[in-house]
Amino acid sequence: MQDKTDIEMAARLKRARVTALIAGGFAVSVFLLSIVQMLKV
Amino acid sequence: MAHAATHDHHDHHGAPKGFFQRWVMSTNHKDIGTLYLIFSLTMFFIGGAFAMVIRAELFKPGMQLVQPYFFNEMTTMHALVMIFGAIMPAFVGLANWMVPLMVGAPDMALPRMNNLSFWILPFAFFMLLSTLFMPGGGPAGGWTMYPPLSLQGESVAYVIFAIHLMGISSIMGAINIIATILNMRAPGMDLLKMPVFVWSWLITAFLLIAVMPVLAGAVTMLLTDKYFHTNFFNAAGGGDPVLFQHIFWFFGHPEVYIMILPAFGIISEIIPTFARKPIFGYRAMVFAIASIAFLSFIVWAHHMFAVGLPMGAEIFFMYATMLIAVPTGVKVFNWVSTMWGGSMTFETPMLFSIAFVILFTIGGFSGLMLALAPADFQYHDTYFVVAHFHYVLVTGAAFSIMAAAYYWIPKWSGHMYSETWGKIHFWSSVISVNVLFFPQHFLGLAGMPRRIPDYNVAFANFNMVSSIGGFWFGASQLIFLGVIIHCVFFSKKKAADRSWEGAKGLEWTVPSPAPFHTFDVPPVIHDDELAHGNTDH
């Protein structure tokens, strides 16, 4: 029972890291988009 | 109700013993939440001290106490410290403490990043505040940092680096909250069964990751304009200072909602508890928050009506702004409907919540007045605007944080606060805050500009009243500090696990104070005990 809980938690944490990477990637993209004008320099 | 599993199945380790290990190296959501709340309270008093300087200078017409440049530093720093140092960290602290407890998660999804998110902040604010002691002084061009004014002085690089750090901290905090809510909920805690506070924070976190990088981009371009001879915002070099305003307010308006959506969530937790009724229109409340968040992206230029926008843009942004009143009205009516017919009691959190509903609505109405483009030409940059946003941010955001502190402090500390002193704090605050800000509406309508250290004698009386209210409100917050310190360290009255009779939700199933580890085994959730009632009906 406990092992099952641990495995489920490990899977959740793995999914959470993927979510965080997507959210972080989105934030970085927005930053780059907001300074896109700098590319014109 | 949910069966609360509060201990680890492995070795039952508690909090680390050493101070350094416990607080500096912490990865525990409750400890990090406490750190955020202490930090925010400290910043609240520092920002409040700046406000006292402002109100003391404005007590009478003429120059009283400080030099004009220092006055401008105070208005700028007051805003930066209160927005980024007090209000936002307070909400992140509340999210850290309560979101895992409310969704049945053992901790935040990314505990080490959580530690980093917090510990960046003290360094950022140390750097920001240190600029006040630098040759040439700190930032004095207003928190909006419009160039070219904001590029004067030598502290620009420090201020911008501090803002970058705050932004990184906020973005990491938001990512953590999104990852936690989407992945760490206990089985059975479906998205549309989550408490409204959790929903409000999920939506706020999306706003944060969408707009904080825009602020970072804007200030990065300021930095290059100042030190690398670019001309993004320099008209002489072919740039456009108005472009900065567009970019800044594309961040700035959603930022306003970042500071109020979690407040909506808090009020939506407290009112059902003390009305002893499920929240009225749970789904409507959630969709209203989402609608407000969406609309916040398409109204930014209402801050710029006086800059010379094309007529079509003025009309679009005017109507889009007025549209926000619809979902906001849904929320206000639903809070009132929740109270309607309820078995209401008026403990301190409820008093602050009711004051929130009434006073935030006043701030909303003055916002509608400002949304009217032709009228805004009269109101723009006057004390009417100052009155408006202080009703939203003080009697709105700050009151909700105080309500939350009174509501959840029994769970945090294991003790009940002094209800008598809590009510004294409430009545003192709610009267003084109106003495402070209500006259500012009249000052603004009469034409008194904001951000000036001296003014026409015609404005003397209302300014004196406002300053008296300001000193009174400031002193009232010392009562708040006293109530908290007494509750945490000296109160003899133990808090029950379910500290309030009408409280529902997972956080009330764990002991008070909440143990160092909670929900290591996911709880079993029964719908009828959820704070908003059974949504399947």
% of chain B surpassing 90 pLDDT: 92
Indicate if the pLDDT at residue B467 is higher than 60: yes
CA distance B231 to B229: 6
For residue A1, name the pLDDT band (cuts at 50, 70, 90).
low
Indicate if the pLDDT at residue A41 is higher than 70: no
> SS3 for B382?
strand
Q: What is the structure's pLDDT at A39?
A: 66
CA angle B414, B8, B488 (to 5 degrees): 15
> If you average pLDDT over every residue of chain B, what do you get?
94
> SS3 for B68?
helix
Interchain pair B110, A30: CB under 8 A: no
* B191 close to A (CB below 8 A): no
Q: What is the structure's pLDDT at B192?
A: 92
Interchain pair B179, A20: CB under 8 A: yes
Question: How many domains does chain A divide into?
Answer: 1
Indicate if the pLDDT at residue B527 is higher than 80: no
Buried b (16+ CB within 10 A) or exposed e, B236-268: eeebebeebbbbbbbbbbbbbbbbbbbbbbbbb
For residue A40, name the pLDDT band (cuts at 50, 70, 90).
low
ipTM (interface pTM): 0.91
* B175 close to A (CB below 8 A): yes
Indicate if the pLDDT at residue B233 is higher than 70: yes
Q: Which residues contact B42 (CB under 8 A, 6 or more apart)?
A: none
Indicate if the pLDDT at residue B84 is higher than 90: yes
For residue B63, name the pLDDT band (cuts at 50, 70, 90).
very high
CA distance B85 to B41: 9
Q: What is the structure's pLDDT at B12?
A: 47
Q: What is the structure's pLDDT at B282?
A: 94
Which chain B residues are within 8 Å of A24, Cβ to Cβ?
A: 171, 175, 209
For residue B390, CA distances in Å to B50, B213, B360, B387, B440 come to: 15, 26, 9, 5, 10
Spell out the domains of chain B, with CATH numbers in brackets: 26-529 (1.20.210.10)
Which chain B residues are within 8 Å of A16, Cβ to Cβ?
A: 109-110, 179-180, 182-184
For residue B3, name the pLDDT band (cuts at 50, 70, 90).
very low
- Is the preceding omega at residue B16 within 30 degrees of 0, hence cis? no
Beta strands (DSSP E) in B35-190 are: none
Identify from A1, A3, A5, A12 which residue to disrupt to test chain B contact, counting B C-beta atoms within 10 A and taking the largest count: A12
For residue A25, the enclosing domain spans: 2-40
CA distance B493 to B352: 22
Identify from A21, A31, A41 which residue to disrupt to test chain B contact, counting B C-beta atoms within 10 A and taking the largest count: A31
